[in-house]
């Protein structure tokens, strides 16, 4: 893993980029969302909240999505945090990645980034051999998940549920401007000559 070299009073020190960014309260979601990645993110969020619950936390997201239950655990904790949350889409925030993007108080897009939302899909394995009532149970649970996710999108964007369901029936991609117009994002990341809104 690459490291930064810094000359200090204690001599030459190697500093990991992740440590520098964590000190600046900047985190990343750049992998599939699963139990492991969400557990790591939860620990980082809890640590930053304990260190200072008034300073903003920035989360950069470029994720294909993944496990809904794990993602919702992080989403729920982000909603409970006292620290202001800023999410930034730096590539594609898809599926559950888009839901975590929506958890931000401020939600910003890079110029060529995009958001993708859709209905959840069953990912529990082979349905062969399942009895009708077992299949119906799985369908009912999937429907409940669909309602939860659509409710979040509706709340964050201000769009009626009926309109959200229409969008999520298929993979719906939004570029930065479209995401802002739909209410998924609150603005673009802007850079001026004097200061960048990406604090690195």
| Position 71 pLDDT exceeds 50 | yes
| Position 195 pLDDT exceeds 50 | no
pLDDT of 7: 60
Instruction: Let me know if 118 is a catalytic residue.
Output: yes
Locate the DSSP E strands across the chain: 4-8, 11-15, 26-29, 57-63, 85-94, 106-109, 114-117, 172-175, 187-188
**C-beta separation of 103 from 79 below 8 A:** yes
pLDDT of 122: 72
pLDDT of 124: 62
**C-beta separation of 38 from 8 below 8 A:** no
| Position 103 pLDDT exceeds 50 | yes
Place of tokens 């009626």: 160
Q: What is the pTM of this model?
A: 0.86
Q: What are the tens digits of pLDDT across the range 123-144?
A: 666 666 678 888 888 889 999 9
Of residues 63, 70, 83, 95, which has the active-site annotation? 95
Instruction: Let me know if 39 is a catalytic residue.
Output: no
Of residues 63, 70, 113, 118, which has the active-site annotation? 118
Cα–Cα dist 90/112, whole Å: 8
| Position 192 pLDDT exceeds 50 | no
Q: What residues does 11 pair with on adjacent strands?
A: 8
Q: What are the tens digits of pLDDT across the range 73-91?
A: 999 999 999 999 999 999 9
pLDDT of 67: 95
pLDDT of 16: 80
Domains for the chain: give ranges and CATH numbers.
Answer: 19-188 (3.90.226.10)
């Amino acid at each position: 893993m690459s490291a930064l070299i810094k000359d200090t009073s204690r001599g030459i020190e190697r500093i990991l980029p992740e440590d520098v960014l964590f000190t600046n309260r900047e985190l990343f979601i750049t992998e599939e969302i699963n139990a492991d990645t969400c557990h790591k993110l939860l620990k980082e969020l809890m640590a930053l909240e304990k260190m200072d619950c008034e300073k903003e936390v920035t989360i950069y997201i470029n994720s294909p999505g993944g496990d809904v239950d794990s993602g919702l655990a992080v989403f729920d904790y982000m909603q409970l945090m006292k620290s202001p949350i800023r999410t930034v889409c730096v590539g594609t925030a898809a599926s559950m990645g888009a839901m975590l993007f929506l958890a931000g108080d401020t939600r910003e897009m890079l110029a060529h980034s995009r958001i993708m939302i859709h209905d959840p899909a069953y990912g529990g394995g082979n349905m062969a051999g399942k009895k009708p009532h077992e299949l119906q149970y799985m369908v009912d649970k999937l429907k409940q998940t669909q309602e939860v996710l659509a409710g979040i999108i509706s709340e964050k964007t201000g769009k009626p549920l009926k309109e959200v369901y229409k969008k999520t029936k298929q993979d719906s991609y939004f570029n930065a401007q479209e995401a802002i117009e739909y209410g998924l994002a609150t603005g673009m990341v802007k850079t001026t000559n004097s200061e960048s809104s990406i604090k690195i």
